[in-house]
Amino acid sequence: MLGWSRLTFILLSGTVTCLVAQQVPPWTEDCRKSTYPPSGPTYRGPVPWYTINLDLPPYKRWHELMVVKAPALKVIVNSMKNIINAFVPSGKIVQLVDQKLPGLLGNFPGPFEEEMKGIAAVTEIPLGEIILFNIFYEFFTICTSIITEDKEGHLLHGRNMDFGVFLGWNINNDTWVITEELKPLTVNLDFQRNNKTLFKATTFAGYVGMLTGFKPGLFSVTLNERFSIDGGFMGVMEWILGKKDAQWIGFIIRSVLENSTSYEETKNILTKTKILAPAYFILGGNQSGEGCVITRDRKQSLDVYELDPKQGRWYVVQTNYDRWKNPFFLDDRRTPAKMCLNRTTQELTVYTVLIDVTKGQFETYLRDCPDPCIGW
């Protein structure tokens, strides 16, 4: 669900998918079953599929998609500017974004800069605002990811994406503005070379990095934000000041999906590469025991917590808090998720799968928070 909900049992995957303790208030800590396929008041519909042809020049890869999604992207970019102008009414920050941000950030790695320039051209949105849309995710994503293994050693990767909390509250329908405006931009993408699928991902049209994706038959990966004093703002400032030895977190996910050829190779890259913002990388493979949560600060790995089915650890759950610390009491998604997984046991998890690396199954569903809907 885009927006906050009470999570209890999550094995639904993609970027905007979750299960809630109750479909509508009042919420309890009952664990719901038979919720797949999604239906009812929290279900908005499936996410459309598009193909990204990696054989095209980077400047042209997103043109076909962005012709369709340009109006929705303009809406959310305007909302982002309105939020900025609410804090700095002079409009000088937005002016700085339009005129100076591309030069301040300099060259982006790989194909990303040319891809963003192409998106700016086809949507007629200033390049600085397209860049702002792309770096927004270094700061504001709130997510839940789960990897489970059944008794036959089959791995399932579940994910929900929450984005937009505290970014403009709509008092008319009790929703977060950015959350609602991201839903029309949510897309499934099939990245192809030589007319063959290289990887699949769910993202927001206009964003060239990736937060959720999988390489059929090899691995799946999701990204959760990790809050830290030494966070993404510090990383971006270092980048602006010329220290560019770290990678943008959305870009590194895109890079491993495009280039890595195994679970172990991907784990090594995500564990050791310097990144601009602290993060949790949740990685799943295609063999028993191939599942882990990598807790990262900007320069190094702090913890790699792995599946260990022989010791009874048949799932890992990651929200936005270090596993060895208590979550914020208003945002405890970890406890109900673990509670319901423990009640469900391994034998009942298979029917809820939406990401399955081995079978190549990848499904995404948009969700709603029916009124009355609290902000978290």
At residue 252 the predicted structure's pLDDT band, cuts being 50, 70 and 90, is very high
CA atoms within 13 A on the CB side of 342: 10
| Domain at 212, CATH number | 3.60.60
Contacts of residues 163-166 at CB distance under 8 Å and 24 or more positions apart, as own/partner, are 163/2, 163/137, 164/2, 164/3, 164/140, 165/3, 165/4, 165/140, 165/375, 165/376
Looking at residue 11, its pLDDT comes to: 44
Residues paired with 188 in a beta bridge: 49, 202
Looking at residue 192, its pLDDT comes to: 98
332 falls within a domain: yes
Where in the sequence is the domain holding 252, given as residue range(s)?
A: 54-141+206-345
310 falls within a domain: yes
58 falls within a domain: yes
Looking at residue 355, its pLDDT comes to: 76
Looking at residue 14, its pLDDT comes to: 32
* pLDDT tens, residue by residue, 327-346: 554 454 555 555 555 545 43
77 falls within a domain: yes
At residue 27 the predicted structure's pLDDT band, cuts being 50, 70 and 90, is very low
The encoded tokens of residue 72 equal 């929705």
Q: Is the dihedral of CA 337, 339, 343, 346 positive or negative?
A: positive
* Active-site residue set: 143
- 183 versus 14: the higher-pLDDT residue is 183
- 29 versus 14: the higher-pLDDT residue is 29
pLDDT of residue 217 exceeding 50, the answer is yes
Domain count, the chain: 1
374 falls within a domain: no
The encoded tokens of residue 170 equal 């709509």
3-state secondary structure the chain: CCCCCCECCCCCCCCCCCCECCCCCCCCCCCCCCCCCCCCCCEEEECCEEEEECCCCHHHCCHHHHHHHHHHHHHHHHHHHHHHHHHCCCCHHHHHHHHHHHHHHCCCCCCHHHHHHHHHHHHCCCHHHHHHHHHHHHCCEEEEEEEEECCCCCEEEEEEEEECCCCCEECCCCEEHHHHHHHHHEEEEEEEECCEEEEEEEEECCCCCCCEEEECCCEEEEEEECCCCCCHHHHHHHHHCCCCCCECHHHHHHHHHHHCCCHHHHHHHHHHCCECCCEEEEEECCCCCCEEEEEECCCCEEEEEECEHHHCECEEEECCCCCCCCCCHHHCCHHHHHHHHHHHCHHHCHHHCCEECCCCEECCEEECCCCCCCCC
- Displacement of CA 242 from its chain's centroid (Å): 27
Looking at residue 178, its pLDDT comes to: 72
Distance CA 76, CA 133 (A): 9
252 falls within a domain: yes
104 falls within a domain: yes
* pLDDT tens, residue by residue, 48-90: 999 999 999 999 999 999 999 999 999 988 888 887 777 777 7
- 101 versus 19: the higher-pLDDT residue is 101
The pTM of this model reads 0.81
* pLDDT tens, residue by residue, 290-323: 999 999 999 999 999 898 888 888 777 777 767 6
341 falls within a domain: yes
Looking at residue 21, its pLDDT comes to: 34
